[in-house]
Structure 1
Amino acid sequence: MIELENNHVVKDGTVDVHGNPADKTKTGNWKACFFILGNECCERLAYYGMSTNLVNYFIQRLHQGNATAAKNVSNWSGTCYVLPLLGAFLADSYWGRYWVIAIFSMIYVFVSFFHFPIFDHCNSAVAAFVAIYLIALGTGGIKPCVSAFGADQFDETDDKEREKKSSFFNWFYFSINVGALIASSVLVWIQTNVGWGWGFGIPTVTMALAVVSFFSGSHLYRRQKPGGSPLARIAQVLVASFRKFNVKVPDDEGILYETAEEESYIQGSRKLEHTNNLRCFDKAAIPTEDDDMKGTPNPWRLCTVTQVEELKSIIRILPIWATGIIFSAVYSQMSTMFVLQGNTMDQHIGPKFRIPSASLSLFDTLSVIFWVPVYDKLIVPYARKFTGNERGFTPLQRIGIGLVISVFSMVVAGILEVVRLDLVRKNDYYDMKTLPISIFWQVLQYFLIGCAEVFTFIGQFEFFYGQAPDAMRSLCSALSLTTNALGNYLSSLLVVIVSNVTTRNGKLGWIPDNLNRGHIDYFYWVLAILSVVNFFVYLWISSWYKYKVTGIEN
């Protein structure tokens, strides 16, 4: 009977709501994930309901110019993807993912209920910015933890559950885009035709539903125990390595210090195998005469192999992380340049109905909703026959495919802008607000962005979760999100540079308020060229990357 009960215990160290080892038959798996996916769908509906049309809010209500509005949206979006570092630190160090999601969700709801009337009744830029940046704080605690918390529901030491975990990331991103679909269609229409108060008030209600959905599944969740401050452990390795700068690294790795117990001393983390790269940090795990080996060694002088390997894991993924910044800059154009480009085009469907330009992002969402099941049910089984990998493509292969597709999205957007400007020149439409060219010509560039997302963003979710040390998974998920932040900041920086350089000597520049006299096609070409260079850098970096031993094949 005892053996049978032990077989039911999850072996990855997760616990149930009472703090006991999680039971496979009663916790986790898809039955727990449905509540997590429901939470994510509602939270993303709330987020995209505020972000999708924000550039037009800045222009119409705060009377900002195109370049200023685009820069402010990029800065805010970037902040939304930097603050997850705070939420991730709290989750991995002290509170755990469950409580960070719960607490920051409630902050999100409270702030939203308190501030959403501002958007409809106040033209103060200060009040509006205070509101949206407080909302950024709320989302900063949720973003890095939800995907990792959902993946925690599958035991990666179990072959069947590990395969389901890979599928979870696909459906997690699918739920994000169901929320985004409603936001980019229904909510944007309400904001444009009914009012900003209603348009931002409805996301507040959906965020409240997200909290209800999350708490409803509490008894089913598997929770990873927080392992203490990962930043402190990294600092200890760096300090210990520096102190032993003159110590020679031995050829026999058995000399390196590791605890005798089966489990790592880091709570919620399994031991990591020693690797031969970045051997300079192995010095932190070399016992010397100055180390007290009778009791517990001072971690600022002697670290375990697992602790050293944590730092190595982070360093190894940083180059892959950096290549995601350009992709995120391309992705951010949907909420800035694509919207501004669409504002100049005919938005009518029939004689009476007019679709807001920001609503075209629903075709990005529809693309994701189309490609996720196609990838999961058709592409993966087919690719598995040729690659021999249980996931069809490795995470790095998947990311690379998305980077290629993103280049084509910029090329298509640039070609459309060339056609649009050609129409302006031939017919002297320079001062015409709306050109006689359908906004639906933008559909292809949105669709390609969505396709690229399914490969790159989901590949990043899987890669950073899988390659992260057990006690740093929230932090690594947040690290992957910071590529979105830096991509938005890069886009904002490019706009500033382009505006300053191209407006000299009395010229209007590439991104004037009247885009008919500008050249945002040049801006798209710059991003396309940067994306091509980034892809070849990525190929070089990924060619030497070695996956850590977690059942993922290289």
Structure 2
Amino acid sequence: MGANQFEKAKDRRIFFNWFFFTLYVSSMVSYIVVVYIEDNVSWGLGFAVCLAANLFGLATFALGKQCYHLVKPRGTPFMDIARVIVAATRKRKVVILSENEDYYHQHDEILTVESTKPKDSFRFLNAAALKTEGDIKPEGSNAKPWRLCSVQQVENLKILIRIFPLWSRSIFLATPITIETSLVVLQILTMDRHICPHPSGWAPVSHAAETYLSISDTPPTNRNRTVVEHAQHLVLVGIGEAFHFPGQVALYYQEFPLLLKSTATTMISLIITIAFYLGAALIDLVKRISSWLPDDINNGRLDNVYWALVVMGIFNFGYYLVCSSLYKYQNVEKEIEVDNAYISD
């Protein structure tokens, strides 16, 4: 919704940066304030604060309704994806020709020389847009939408397939971050917590706290020195997230088909969700097959766990290099043309 308000790609990238900045700041506030209220006052009041915040956000959003640039709804894109898969499967034995007139186009599709027929990549899907007997009504409309799809619908699915490897490598990037978050909780539980007996709310904001301690000009003393010497990984995680998530969501928004723009911005949330489940499973596996994570981690080998994450990161980086070298941008030329047009104006 926010990205749709901007025409220039540069403005959208700035928006995504501010979006994630606001998201992280608000998350820090909620983890500290709401969790403190739940731990020290009552859970009911904590949930009431959350409800009030949601109502305030909804009201603020509604107040700007008259100013928003609204994209006209055009139906669910997921149904189109399902139709392409079903149609391609049903026509898997049909001989795929190369003549342009053999392929179906919706009346509202904007055709170019390149889009008059499907591309050769993932050629098995092209059969979904191939016209056969009985697929077209006399007036030219589609008679069997689950047997015949448009060229644009086929190409939209191909875009998702092409970008899937880049998206999947982000899961293996986010998984070590979620594991590190869990390990920080284990570390906090072994500390002297007489100052803060309820560490659960502080664990999610440990990245920011440790970053401050690491870059502070104040000479480190006592526990501060230990944190500075042994919490450098938290600083790197914070920097990595700042570079990773805004760029990812900007890439998806740029490359996804028009009908999937809203879906593009939710891909990061899906990555984080999968990463948390996968991270929990990996921690459970480590506890089952090794002695690295006992109940008292002072008697374990937390360093080995982190080295395992390093190895995972190295393999994931190699996977990313392969995926990025093979990926071809779909819409970057259009973005450049739009930006240049605004600059010339």
Give the aligned partner of residue 269 of structure 2: 481
Change over 3 Å in CA distance of 1:232–1:361 after alignment to 2? closer
Give the aligned partner of residue 544 of structure 1: 326
**Which of the residues 138, 143, 154 maps onto 2:6?**
154
Check the 8 A contact 1:284/1:301 in 2, yes or no: yes
Give the aligned partner of residue 64 of structure 1: none
Change over 3 Å in CA distance of 1:526–1:198 after alignment to 2? farther
Give the aligned partner of residue 217 of structure 2: none
> Aligned AA for 2:320?
Y
1:405-462 deviation digits (Å, cap 9, x = unpaired) = xxxxxxxxxxxxxxxxxxxxxxxxxxxxxx9985565653322212111221111111
Number of residues of Structure 1 aligned to a counterpart in Structure 2: 320
**Which of the residues 105, 112, 126 maps onto 1:258?**
105
Check the 8 A contact 2:31/2:205 in 1, yes or no: yes
**Which of the residues 84, 103, 126 maps onto 1:282?**
126
Check the 8 A contact 1:464/1:476 in 2, yes or no: yes
Alpha-carbon distance between aligned partners in 2 of 1:436 and 1:520, rounded to the nearest angstrom? 20
Change over 3 Å in CA distance of 1:440–1:192 after alignment to 2? farther
Check the 8 A contact 2:294/2:300 in 1, yes or no: yes
Structure 1 stretches lacking a partner, 5+ long: 1-148, 156-160, 265-270, 371-434, 503-508
**Which of the residues 184, 187, 210 maps onto 2:57?**
210
Alpha-carbon distance between aligned partners in 2 of 1:261 and 1:195, rounded to the nearest angstrom? 56
Change over 3 Å in CA distance of 1:462–1:254 after alignment to 2? farther
Matches within 5 A, 1:84-123: none
Change over 3 Å in CA distance of 1:437–1:200 after alignment to 2? farther
Alpha-carbon distance between aligned partners in 2 of 1:261 and 1:197, rounded to the nearest angstrom? 52
Residue 363 of structure 1 deviates from its aligned partner by 5.3
Residue 464 of structure 1 deviates from its aligned partner by 1.5
1:329 aligns with 2:175: yes
**Which of the residues 178, 187, 190 maps onto 1:344?**
190
1:180-203 deviation digits (Å, cap 9, x = unpaired) = 232344444555555555555433
Give the aligned partner of residue 30 of structure 2: 183
Give the aligned partner of residue 114 of structure 1: none
1:341-382 deviation digits (Å, cap 9, x = unpaired) = 12323568xxx67894752543535799x9xxxxxxxxxxxx
Alpha-carbon distance between aligned partners in 1 of 2:274 and 2:103, rounded to the nearest angstrom? 38
Alpha-carbon distance between aligned partners in 2 of 1:184 and 1:273, rounded to the nearest angstrom? 52
Matches within 5 A, 1:26-37: none
Check the 8 A contact 1:329/1:488 in 2, yes or no: yes
Give the aligned partner of residue 249 of structure 2: 461
Alpha-carbon distance between aligned partners in 2 of 1:272 and 1:518, rounded to the nearest angstrom? 62
1:362 aligns with 2:199: no
Give the aligned partner of residue 491 of structure 1: 279
> Aligned AA for 1:456?
H
Question: Structure 2-normalised TM-score?
Answer: 0.80
Alpha-carbon distance between aligned partners in 1 of 2:238 and 2:5, rounded to the nearest angstrom? 27
1:301 aligns with 2:144: no
Residue 482 of structure 1 deviates from its aligned partner by 1.7
Check the 8 A contact 1:347/1:439 in 2, yes or no: no
1:310 aligns with 2:156: yes
> Aligned AA for 2:133?
E
Check the 8 A contact 1:188/1:356 in 2, yes or no: no
The residue matched to 2:149 in structure 1 has which SS? coil
Check the 8 A contact 1:468/1:476 in 2, yes or no: yes
Alpha-carbon distance between aligned partners in 2 of 1:272 and 1:441, rounded to the nearest angstrom? 61
Check the 8 A contact 2:32/2:202 in 1, yes or no: yes
Give the aligned partner of residue 405 of structure 1: none
1:286-340 deviation digits (Å, cap 9, x = unpaired) = 2223432523122222211111111111111111111111122122135421122
Alpha-carbon distance between aligned partners in 1 of 2:20 and 2:208, rounded to the nearest angstrom? 10
Check the 8 A contact 2:109/2:152 in 1, yes or no: no
Check the 8 A contact 1:257/1:285 in 2, yes or no: yes
Question: Structure 1-normalised TM-score?
Answer: 0.52
Check the 8 A contact 1:467/1:548 in 2, yes or no: yes
1:6-33 deviation digits (Å, cap 9, x = unpaired) = xxxxxxxxxxxxxxxxxxxxxxxxxxxx
Change over 3 Å in CA distance of 1:515–1:239 after alignment to 2? same
Give the aligned partner of residue 445 of structure 1: 233
Residue 515 of structure 1 deviates from its aligned partner by 1.6
Residue 500 of structure 1 deviates from its aligned partner by 1.7
Alpha-carbon distance between aligned partners in 1 of 2:331 and 2:23, rounded to the nearest angstrom? 30
Structure 2 stretches lacking a partner, 5+ long: 213-222, 337-345
Residue 239 of structure 1 deviates from its aligned partner by 2.1
> Aligned AA for 1:325?
I
1:219-265 deviation digits (Å, cap 9, x = unpaired) = 1122223322323212221222223223333334454221344569x
Check the 8 A contact 1:328/1:483 in 2, yes or no: yes
Alpha-carbon distance between aligned partners in 2 of 1:332 and 1:315, rounded to the nearest angstrom? 26
